[in-house]
Amino acid sequence: MTISKRLLGSGAAVAVVLALAGPASGEDFRIGIATAQTGGLAFADQPSLLGFQLAVEEINAKGGLAGKHRIVLDIKDTRTDTAATVQAAQELVAAGVKVLITPCDADPSIAAGQISQPAKIPTLTFCGSTPTIPGAVGDYMFGTFPADNYQAAVLGAFAAEKGYKSAYILKSPDSAYTLKLPEYFAEVFKKKGGAVVGEGSYTLGQQNFAAEVTKIQTLNPAPDVIMTAAYEPDFPAFIKQLRAAGVSTPVLGSDGVDSPTTLGLGSVVDGLVHSTGGFPAEGTPLAAFYAKWKEKTGKEPETIYVATGYEVGYIIDAAVTAAGSTEGPAIREALANLADLQLVTGKVTYAGSNRMPLRDVTLVEVRDGKKSLVKRATPDPADVPAP
């Protein structure tokens, strides 16, 4: 008895809430956002959303998408839970959103995409960088962030340019990102004449890297470079223990370490080179964006995800403008054919890219708690490993 009462009670409360929320006006363009504002993915989804909201504010100030369709956001927290993402996607699709935004991870993005795909709703993942995301879902699913294999291609080419001949890769089978990115790197590096002389494996959340560090120390010949896609808390633990053991081999990382934590690690990360979505070098559009952000919020963006989230707003604006329509199929078509769209971190091209954008990958070097630009590069399509 208590059960039905409780369900009824909560149901009624929700019904009231829903009734009061009210529908959006007819001209509005409703964008559903099902992302992880809490939980393990919040580190990426939160800043992405903040950036995106600024873009929406600006676009609406100019009259809306294509100058006429005011954006209304329908935001749901997925709590870093795939089932909650599915529920949010179901609700948003039922609510008639025109575009769906999904979290920075493959599982929930693909799960949500499988729901929006049959409804012909263009769907974009904030910073999900797994290159298989669009292919797994279908023609309405788009990535927005530089894909893992693009990052790996640039990192691999960079390693070869630096004259490194041998590499050690550290990967974790626990997630696609920590497993596949180093594997993509190894593929590129070998193609460029390098050799992978050792591989280490770790568990996400592992605190003790003594075994891996010892393995690296005893490698003969010693590797010229170590590559990993580890991020916090694993990366800080690893690099501290590696340097404490006296190993000074250069380390290459990926965008997962593009966080204030890394900059706060001190001298152990001096010389670390990692890939990321962009760098605000003086005079670049990104520097201008950072200045604008600082003016608005009082502080510099802490991660690149603010900028890449901001860009997603303009990617949608460009697609709706090019489509001349607010219908899903037209927007999808326009989105898939976008080319050389100038955004704050660089140019974005979808044409011919299987919905994972071709865009610049930036390499930065960390020293004295600051990042400096190493290079910005568009991966050579011949180098990019198949997803």
Binder among 1, 210, 382, 386 for other proteins (CB under 8 A) = 1
Strand 225-228, strand 251-253: pairing: parallel
Let me know if 119 is exposed, middle or buried by CB neighbors in 10 A (0-12, 13-18, 19+): middle
Q: Tell me if 206 contacts other proteins by CB under 8 A.
A: no
> Beta strands of the chain (E only): which ranges?
29-35, 71-77, 99-102, 123-125, 141-142, 166-171, 195-201, 225-228, 251-253, 273-276, 341-342, 347-349, 358-359, 361-367, 370-377
Report d(CA 178, CA 254) in Å as an integer: 9
Edge-to-edge strand order for the sheet containing 29-35?
71-77, 29-35, 99-102, 123-125, 141-142
Q: Tell me if 104 contacts other proteins by CB under 8 A.
A: no
Q: Tell me if 19 contacts other proteins by CB under 8 A.
A: no
Q: Tell me if 60 contacts other proteins by CB under 8 A.
A: no
Binder among 28, 139, 174, 365 for other proteins (CB under 8 A) = 174
Beta carbon of residue 133, minimum distance to other proteins (angstroms, whole number): 8
Is the separation of the CB atoms in 316 and 348 below 8 Å?
no
Q: Tell me if 76 contacts other proteins by CB under 8 A.
A: yes
Residues near other proteins (CB under 8 A), total: 56
Number of Cβ within 10 Å of residue 163's Cβ equals 9
Task: List binders of other proteins among 297-316 (CB under 8 A).
Answer: none
* Ramachandran quadrant class, 357 (left: phi over 0; alpha: psi -120 to 50; beta: rest): beta
Q: Tell me if 211 contacts other proteins by CB under 8 A.
A: no
Q: Tell me if 351 contacts other proteins by CB under 8 A.
A: no
Binder among 50, 119, 136, 222 for other proteins (CB under 8 A) = 136
The residues facing 71 across adjacent strands are 29
Only one of the segments 107-115, 159-167, 218-226, 312-320 lies at the binding site for other proteins (rule: CB under 8 A); that segment is: 107-115
Only one of the segments 34-42, 233-241, 278-286, 365-373 lies at the binding site for other proteins (rule: CB under 8 A); that segment is: 34-42
Binder among 28, 87, 240, 378 for other proteins (CB under 8 A) = 87
Q: Tell me if 37 contacts other proteins by CB under 8 A.
A: yes
Is the separation of the CB atoms in 259 and 303 below 8 Å?
yes
Binder among 123, 175, 276, 353 for other proteins (CB under 8 A) = 175
Q: Tell me if 114 contacts other proteins by CB under 8 A.
A: yes
Of 134, 97, 96, 148, residue with least CA distance to 254: 148
The residues facing 124 across adjacent strands are 101, 142
**Contact footprint for other proteins (CB under 8 A):** 1-4, 6-15, 17-18, 20-22, 37-39, 74-77, 79-84, 86-87, 90-91, 94, 106-107, 110-111, 113-115, 130, 132-133, 135-137, 173-176, 179-180
